[in-house]
Structure 1
């Protein structure tokens, strides 16, 4: 949001003008400036919108459920994998979850179906590579929990059931974090480490 000199003068004139015509003129300029600022389309690289799709190369894996994607226009998108929650990097299995996700998508072309934008400005997305659900793959490998608290709100019934079954199978086979007798869910770990 850049303020031009004429907008600055209009703002000052709004409060200092001696007659109503000058004040009205200044008010119109200020109102138009405010309207244009609030109706601008985001032009920053990686501006994310809900219910959109982005395709590109994964250039970074931050942890077991967060990636950065670079599209063909060289715009970067920070994305969090929807419906799952992986261990934080400092948690047991956190580095292993990051490594597993890296093996699946790092330097690979993926498609991100963005469901929403979270409070940190990240796209919450379903990641697909070669028609494979990467979010589900993290669950199947035992490196994430099905984040049912959020999944119940927007995940389809069939997908919800598939994610639940993948987590149950990983638990039964003691894959990944399920090798631990009593793994701590990341939401509990975050709460206790605030």
Structure 2
């Protein structure tokens, strides 16, 4: 348990040392885990939520996840704690609106997978586990397909 806490602490120290905090108004929702903010300098920035992966458009609960995040942040001022840039140039971030952690809210609601390939926060794994055990949203399905597998299958079917 101490090792897990140590690694979690080291992760957050790393994030804080390399992170930048920005504030902006949400002007566009792309899907459950990606949106655009307008910064005070009128620059637009695409944001991808760190450590979570929501169902894609066309996938079960994809529209529900988009609607959920829209209700939570659309048109509102959010604070983002950047963690990195992804390969598509999006800013990957932990996002807060008022006192709500958006990343955690999606996990708690059962509308996102904890993307363990990119995040090892134990608390987030527990939020996913709680959503599973209460059969919330995506976890109400018998065998939900994680978005990364769904994208891979879709790409493979295009190439064949």
Q: State the TM bucket, normalised to the shorter chain.
A: 0.7 to 0.9
Aligned equivalents of 1:142, 1:99: Cα separation in 2: 13
- Structure 1 unaligned residues grouped into runs of 5+: 1-49, 153-159
Number of residue pairs the alignment of both structures matches: 138
Match of 2:140 in 1: 179
When you count strand as a share of all residues, which structure comes out higher?
2
Higher relative contact order (CA 8 A, sep 6+): 2
Q: Secondary structure at the match of 2:122?
A: helix
Q: Normalising by the residue count of structure 2, what TM-score does the alignment of the two structures yield? A: 0.83
Match of 2:113 in 1: 145
Match of 1:191 in 2: 152
Residue in structure 2 matching 1:96, options 64, 67, 77: 64
Deviations 1:117-148 (A, max 9, x none): 01110000000111221100000001000000
Match of 1:113 in 2: 81
Match of 1:155 in 2: none
Q: Secondary structure at the match of 1:68?
A: strand
Runs of 4+ in 1 over 4 A off after TM superposition: none
**CA deviation after TM superposition for structure 1 residue 51, in Å:** 2.2
Residue in structure 2 matching 1:76, options 38, 44, 49: 44
Rg: which structure is higher? Answer: 1
Q: Normalising by the residue count of structure 1, what TM-score does the alignment of the two structures yield? A: 0.69
Measured on the aligned residues, the alpha-carbon RMSD in Å equals 1.0
Aligned equivalents of 1:182, 1:129: Cα separation in 2: 32
1:134 and 2:108 correspond: no
1:57 and 2:25 correspond: yes
Match of 1:16 in 2: none
